[in-house]
Amino acid sequence: MAKLVVGLGNPGPQYSWTRHNAGFMVLDRLSRLADIPVTKKAFSGLIGDGNWAGERVYLLKPQTFMNLSGRSVAEALRFYKLSPSDLVVIHDELDIPFGKIRLKEGGGHGGHNGLRSLGQELGSTAWARIRVGIGRPVHGDVVNYVLTNFSKDEMESLLGILDEGVDALEMMIREGMPKAMSIFNGR
């Protein structure tokens, strides 16, 4: 069986290192480590495919901007004849402290426009999630916060966080969600 692994983010160099692009960053790290280039244009996004962690994986970076991500994902799921249960979405999460990785099956959008779009387009929220903690701003607007770059201090630990996201995905695929949740959600 195959998996569609989606990293959420916004296209364009001005967003590359913003907190809202944590999903893209984890997917880019996986792309490099697994040697699966995500460069082919399809489904209003960039896609790559290959074998990793004992599975056929399709890696997708929607290029529609966050609030329309669901269109890209729905197209890819239909094309590959996959269901939401074959989907893993990697995204930033305000309600988790910076640097923590948490796994979740299903659930609401919690105000995240990318997840809202996915739920609307798929008619379901029954997919796996890898949530990359970005924390909440101490004060100020959440929208501005998610669209600002990681701080210098945060950047120093970012590679380790991205690697942990890839490790969590690998365990989820190889050993199942319950085992991966028991390990990564307890850290």
What residues are annotated to the active site?
20
Distance, in Å, from the CA atom of 4 to the CA atom of 171, rounded to the nearest integer, reads 16
Cα–Cα distance, 58 to 37 (Å, whole number): 10
101-105 and 128-133 strand pairing: antiparallel
**Measured distance CA(167)–CA(186) in Å, rounded:** 14
The amino acid at residue 23 is G
Phi then psi dihedrals of residue 66, to 5 deg: -50, -45
